[in-house]
Structure 1
């Protein structure tokens, strides 16, 4: 189950409800300090805390300027604070339809609404007819019962529709089972109640990790045991107010140490038992710390000579509470400097954050009471992860986030350009604090405030500095193969005295359509002339059309390849096309066969071998799959390799139609730029 969108507000600095799409893997919140990034994470966290501790409190959470007015109506009409929309996986949808005899469609979505009184309300569109159809087909019931059921439109109306019948024993037993279902259903729709009951047991929970969850350098274990006992005593009273008050006894540092102890299979009470030695407990903790350090070093490349030391000892000369009972000490030893160790909190903040996070993450999974913790779905909320890491270490840390995202959706905040994948800027959501409006979240990276999008521009600039050159006039294309073909064809045309691409125009391969959109959004406002040439998939690209609607680029500056494929309809979109489709199929296959002659073992692919289709690249890949031929271990083939051969060994001559196609393309681009 995936979170697909969120509506939050009013909540703290979010005065007006903000709707944000959530990426299936990683969503990044970018904005200035105090813009409201953490506020957004807190709202999600309180919506369904994995630890069951964080809840909404209007005194703490409702926007302060409107709080007095709201409190007057809170008890009677608590406001909505969050609306979370989820989508089921194909497997989950199949299970639900099979279990409850529904026919929910592919891509089924539903919403969960959270209010300030912490009530939960589902928003689900359900058609009861498939369930009624299933009930009518029950072979145990009589024909009279089936006739009566033909007119009912809901499960709840079944008893009323059968009062006039003379029921058989089977009818009575069947009707009793239906009435039991109705009695269990808290909502008007019985089917909706049952679907909601199925869904809520599988809802992903939110887990929040920030600066305050770090492990301390030392903690008194006797004091910790006292605090834990106080919380247990409050829980035994089943008094909500006492339980809530007792939770404040356990601060994040206490919970972090409890989590570390639990990983070592140690309880706090173990340290308070008379005559208990600490060596065996210390050995267990050291074993866990070594395991965690090894996990960290898979991603931590700044200094691989670090390790965490754990010590437990009495210190009667310390200040209270450290002078009463055993203390746990955490230190970081640097083997590079002859084993010098320093208190945990005085060493690299990046390393301590990483170590603390692994402890916390294990603890959160352990606290989930339903199912195997390893299989429980979580949505991880990370506040400024990697804040204290070196720029290159932040890039390493992104690999760890990708690892987490293989199993859990991740939403994190940052204002560092090195905590952004420059080729995944579609995952970015911009957060701004606007005067008289409050916190605003948007997918539109072309924010009006340049300070907000500075990390995006810096991330993109870092990529440009390494890979690209931008000029005043730029033709944005999706990949490097496009650049090679355009350069080669421009040279061939110019050699014949025909129109090629003007010299002052720079072809910029962006790395995919998503990045084309980002380039236009971020660079178009800087006075640069931009045109886009993109592959055509048989339908308009909504992301590009959105740029036109937002007036970031004109529609005439968006050129798709298919406009130059059919010489009788130049300038009009046609069949799905890539740049390679402007070449004769036989010519492209000739270069393909030469490029992969070794892998093909001298066999040649001809057009008659290929399946029917519009795009030559897709046809070749389908042929390779269908025949079991492999020219690349990962499947498919390297398009760039064919383009490289085309550039290094261009054809001696080309047919008139091909030259006209490319000449028409270059004339169109020249006219735009």
Structure 2
């Protein structure tokens, strides 16, 4: 089962409901500080906390500007804080159909809404007709009973139909069983209740983790035992007694199968320390599978008393965590004074494994029910170490959906922008969450731009084959269409060719010089104005570029004359006019209002982008203050939400382009 959508709000800074599509593997929330990323995670966590500790509280959670008016109706009509939509996998669908004789289809979805009074509303639709049909075939039933069952429209009406016949002992036994089944629920649709009862046990629950849950360097165990006892005596104030750092140490002790009472009982020092050290060694090994910055680190655990320390550490045994660095002859330092990135890794593994044990004391794989909510993970890591952490997240995603927040460009896969959700705090509106990257504030999407820039910079001098293009629009179109061509069974652009936007033809000479000096193979794809480009001709004459490696968009526009210059063309002219207009109208829907640009509105001309700009002038429409329109905004929309299919003509044009580039480089 997967979470496919979450609707959050009103909740804290989220004033109006925000519908967020959740990726089946990893969802990344990108936004500035205080935009509301953590608020979204907290809402999910309160809805389905893995440990069952979290509750919605209108005083803390309802947007303050509307709190007073809401509380007047809270008792009678509590609002929804979070609504989650889940999708069953094919195996689960088959199991339900086999168990209940239903006929639900593959991809079955249902929703669970969580209200501010901490109750749930279930929206789940199951047709009872197949179940009733299967009932009529029950072995041993009389002909009259089978006929009566077939007349029913629901399980409840089956009882009514059977009451009108003279039934046999077998019929009576069947009827009694059905009545007992119906009495278990007040739901009108009994089958829906039964299916819900089944799937509710499979619902993934949320595990939230942030920097506040880190293990401390030392903790007094007597004080911890007192806090745990006070929390049990006063559950309403438990969180005040047992804080995140205490929870983290309890998690470590639980993993080592050490009870807090053992420290005042008969268990010896060596036995206790051996158990805790064994777990620490195991977890250190797990961390080092992904921690490649310094593989000479390990965690040491000690349990001892120190009457000379300050309170409360001078009363009873203390648990000490230290990091040993073998690279520096085994020097140890307190756990909380060393690399915060290593501390985060280790603390998360302790907490994560502990929660799994609490959910699953018998050892069965119930841990697959977790969805991990990671708040600013890897924030303290070096930029290259964050790449290691992304590998760790991918490993987690093999078994668990992961939702994490970040504003670091190094915590975003530039080739997985479909996983990104942009979070913005808008004046008078509050937190807004969207997958529309092109329509977001420049400051918000800066990490995404930086991620793309870093990806280009990282690959620029380490790939043998490079295709220079004028700007990021070409990059977006070529990568996306290449994937579509391959999906259609054709040959896209080879993976070993790096597309490098150079920022216009004026920069081509610089890039050719830089790349050529490294002995790399180059090709150039540029827009065609209708006449030769002197800068490119000069590079060819200087033998910095080969003539066969220079291409322009017009050479792949005319299907009857592929490979030869035709009319002035941009890469946008390789698409059908209707398709490009569709994306343009979607991107600028707000500015265009009820007057989208139609193909009939376009003046005569060769280049679609120029024709649209002239149409905007004619219709006196401004989609941006400087005039014209942002070509990249349309390209970004195409890249993030590509069409399912391209026309044969478009596929032919791009296939010819990819073939020519592959041959030249």
Q: Shorter-chain TM-score: what band?
A: 0.7 to 0.9
- Is 1:646 paired with 2:663? yes
Report the counterpart of residue 573 of structure 1 in structure 2. Answer: 647
Report the counterpart of residue 588 of structure 2 in structure 1. Answer: 551
Q: Do the aligned partners of 1:474 and 1:506 also contact (CA within 8 Å) in 2?
A: no
How far has the Cα of 1:157 moved from its partner?
1.6
Question: For residues 360 and 124 of structure 2, what CA distance do their matches in structure 1 show?
Answer: 26
Which residue, 342, 347, 352 being the options, matches 1:351? Answer: 342
* TM norm structure 2: 0.75
Q: Do the aligned partners of 2:299 and 2:321 also contact (CA within 8 Å) in 1?
A: yes
How far has the Cα of 1:293 moved from its partner?
1.3
Report the counterpart of residue 278 of structure 2 in structure 1. Answer: 287
Cα distance change on mapping 1:105 and 1:499 into 2, 3 Å: farther
How far has the Cα of 1:59 moved from its partner?
1.2
Question: For residues 201 and 552 of structure 2, what CA distance do their matches in structure 1 show?
Answer: 49
How far has the Cα of 1:470 moved from its partner?
5.0
Report the counterpart of residue 263 of structure 1 in structure 2. Answer: 255
Query: Could you say what secondary structure the match of 1:117 adopts?
Result: coil
Question: For residues 378 and 149 of structure 2, what CA distance do their matches in structure 1 show?
Answer: 61
How far has the Cα of 1:186 moved from its partner?
3.2
Question: For residues 119 and 470 of structure 1, what CA distance do their matches in structure 2 show?
Answer: 56
Cα distance change on mapping 1:190 and 1:456 into 2, 3 Å: same
Cα distance change on mapping 1:256 and 1:162 into 2, 3 Å: same
Question: For residues 575 and 90 of structure 1, what CA distance do their matches in structure 2 show?
Answer: 37
Q: Do the aligned partners of 1:474 and 1:531 also contact (CA within 8 Å) in 2?
A: no
Gap regions ≥5 residues in structure 2: 461-466, 484-490, 500-520, 525-529, 537-548, 554-569, 590-595, 600-607, 610-630, 636-645
| Residues 578-593 of structure 1 mapped to structure 2, 5 A cutoff | 582=656
Q: Do the aligned partners of 1:5 and 1:21 also contact (CA within 8 Å) in 2?
A: yes
Question: For residues 17 and 199 of structure 1, what CA distance do their matches in structure 2 show?
Answer: 26
Q: How many residues are aligned here? A: 540
How far has the Cα of 1:161 moved from its partner?
2.3
* TM norm structure 1: 0.74
The 10-residue stretch of structure 1 (372-381 or 169-178) with the greater mean CA deviation from structure 2: 372-381
How big is the alpha-carbon RMSD for the aligned residues of Structure 1 and Structure 2? 3.5
Query: Could you say what secondary structure the match of 1:219 adopts?
Result: strand
Cα distance change on mapping 1:94 and 1:436 into 2, 3 Å: same
- Is 1:458 paired with 2:458? no
Report the counterpart of residue 155 of structure 2 in structure 1. Answer: 155
Report the counterpart of residue 313 of structure 1 in structure 2. Answer: 304
- Is 1:401 paired with 2:400? no
Cα distance change on mapping 1:221 and 1:507 into 2, 3 Å: farther
Question: For residues 551 and 111 of structure 2, what CA distance do their matches in structure 1 show?
Answer: 45
Question: For residues 115 and 80 of structure 1, what CA distance do their matches in structure 2 show?
Answer: 4
How far has the Cα of 1:500 moved from its partner?
10
- Is 1:426 paired with 2:418? yes
Which residue, 432, 442, 448 being the options, matches 1:440? Answer: 432
Query: Could you say what secondary structure the match of 2:43 adopts?
Result: helix
Q: Do the aligned partners of 2:208 and 2:374 also contact (CA within 8 Å) in 1?
A: yes
Gap regions ≥5 residues in structure 1: 235-241, 492-497, 510-528, 561-571, 584-639, 649-673
Question: For residues 222 and 443 of structure 1, what CA distance do their matches in structure 2 show?
Answer: 50
How far has the Cα of 1:243 moved from its partner?
2.4
Question: For residues 432 and 506 of structure 1, what CA distance do their matches in structure 2 show?
Answer: 42
Cα deviations across residues 178-208 of structure 1 (Å, max 9, x unaligned)? 1111101232210110010011010001000
Report the counterpart of residue 66 of structure 1 in structure 2. Answer: 66
Cα deviations across residues 410-430 of structure 1 (Å, max 9, x unaligned)? 000000000000000110000
Query: Could you say what secondary structure the match of 1:74 adopts?
Result: coil
| Residues 42-191 of structure 1 mapped to structure 2, 5 A cutoff | 42-191=42-191
Report the counterpart of residue 27 of structure 1 in structure 2. Answer: 27
Report the counterpart of residue 557 of structure 2 in structure 1. Answer: none
- Is 1:322 paired with 2:363? no
- Is 1:471 paired with 2:470? yes
How far has the Cα of 1:34 moved from its partner?
0.4
Q: Do the aligned partners of 1:431 and 1:439 also contact (CA within 8 Å) in 2?
A: yes
Q: Do the aligned partners of 1:474 and 1:508 also contact (CA within 8 Å) in 2?
A: no
Cα distance change on mapping 1:327 and 1:370 into 2, 3 Å: closer
Query: Could you say what secondary structure the match of 2:648 adopts?
Result: coil
Cα distance change on mapping 1:167 and 1:329 into 2, 3 Å: same
Which residue, 322, 340, 361 being the options, matches 1:331? Answer: 322
Report the counterpart of residue 207 of structure 1 in structure 2. Answer: 207
How far has the Cα of 1:117 moved from its partner?
1.2
Query: Could you say what secondary structure the match of 2:72 adopts?
Result: helix
Cα deviations across residues 510-545 of structure 1 (Å, max 9, x unaligned)? xxxxxxxxxxxxxxxxxxx863858x9xxx99x995
How far has the Cα of 1:643 moved from its partner?
7.4
- Is 1:531 paired with 2:531? no
The 10-residue stretch of structure 1 (371-380 or 434-443) with the greater mean CA deviation from structure 2: 371-380
Cα distance change on mapping 1:357 and 1:169 into 2, 3 Å: same
Question: For residues 299 and 17 of structure 2, what CA distance do their matches in structure 1 show?
Answer: 45
Cα distance change on mapping 1:206 and 1:473 into 2, 3 Å: closer
Query: Could you say what secondary structure the match of 1:73 adopts?
Result: coil
Q: Do the aligned partners of 2:253 and 2:259 also contact (CA within 8 Å) in 1?
A: yes
Question: For residues 88 and 383 of structure 2, what CA distance do their matches in structure 1 show?
Answer: 37
The 10-residue stretch of structure 1 (206-215 or 367-376) with the greater mean CA deviation from structure 2: 367-376
Cα distance change on mapping 1:448 and 1:375 into 2, 3 Å: closer
Question: For residues 508 and 383 of structure 1, what CA distance do their matches in structure 2 show?
Answer: 46
Question: For residues 402 and 148 of structure 1, what CA distance do their matches in structure 2 show?
Answer: 55
Question: For residues 19 and 531 of structure 1, what CA distance do their matches in structure 2 show?
Answer: 32
| Residues 475-494 of structure 1 mapped to structure 2, 5 A cutoff | 475=474, 476-478=477-479, 479=482
Q: Do the aligned partners of 1:182 and 1:190 also contact (CA within 8 Å) in 2?
A: yes
